[in-house]
Amino acid sequence: MIVDLHSHTYPCSPCSVMSAEELIERAILEGLDAICVTDHLYIRGAIEAQRLGEKYHFPVFRGVEARSEIGDVLVFGVYRDIPEGVRWADLKALVERSGGVAFLAHPFRRAGGWTLGYYLGHSGHRPGAPIHQRPELLWLDGIETHNGQHTPEETELAVELALALGKPGIGGSDSHAMSEVGAAVTWFPDSIETDQELVAALRGGNFAPAVRAGSQRWETVHLHQLGVNPNEISETGGS
């Protein structure tokens, strides 16, 4: 099953230029099996998109992209607004209390706001210093290693971070326009129908990031490094 785990809709995310309906229609056209709406700070857009997905008989999952002191965090399983600038310890407590999961988004992106890279620089972390024991990162369930807006270098740094922490990687387009939908996705071996099943699948760890490789086709990436057996995964989408 191919799921785009990172997308934004207008007006809940003012930076987006596509409505929930446009997102769903484009996701179907691209051949995705499901999408997750992760608007900045607010859950309302995801709730509305999920209801609209029922009209199209297309799975839409709910998420939130939180803005924390360590950078943006994709949160699944927390169905409420998350205050801007939330401290990582408070976000950790909220996720754990809600039974959710959290994945650090685009950790080293150089454009588009505060990220882990900026946080490390401002917190006195020296380049090349060990990162795998930092408590503000150990609690995370994984890293968005493949983001549709990443440069190759930013993807490489995100993969290195996931490996250093021993965390799995996910993929998401971070789409704000219809042309971006499905640029990066996450592959799951089994069908997922509900928000609860998505959270369980992400907690289970049996998934892999993938990038677009043609019309309705994706290739899984860095599988041997990220702990997934490439021999067990198809290069194409679908469940």
Spatial separation of the C-alpha atoms in residues 84 and 98, rounded to whole Å:
18
How many residues in total does the chain contain? 239
Kindly state the average pLDDT of the residues 216-229.
62
With a cut of 60, say whether residue 223 has pLDDT above it: no
Can you tell me the distance from the alpha carbon of 53 to that of 121, in angstroms, rounded to the nearest whole number? 41
Nearest partner of 193 among 57, 55, 17, judged by Cα: 57
Q: Return the CATH number of the domain spanning residue range 2-232.
A: 3.20.20.140
Contact between 126 and 134 under an 8 Å Cβ cutoff? The reply is no
pLDDT band at 110 (very low <50, low <70, confident <90, very high): confident
Q: How far apart are CA 47 and CA 227, in angstroms?
A: 33
pLDDT tens digit sequence for 192-217: 999 999 999 999 999 999 998 888 88
Cα angle 88, 93, 98 (rounded to 5 degrees) comes to 125
Residue 135 scores a pLDDT above 80: yes
What are the two backbone dihedrals, phi and then psi, of residue 157, each rounded to the nearest 5 degrees?
-65, -40
pLDDT of residue 214: 86
Sign of CA dihedral 224, 229, 234, 239: negative
Going across the sheet that includes 169-172, the strands are: 169-172, 142-147, 101-104, 71-76, 60-68, 34-40, 2-4, 184-187, 208-214, 217-220
pLDDT digits (tens, 9 = 90+) for 144-203: 999 999 999 999 999 989 988 999 999 999 999 999 999 999 999 999 999 999 999 999
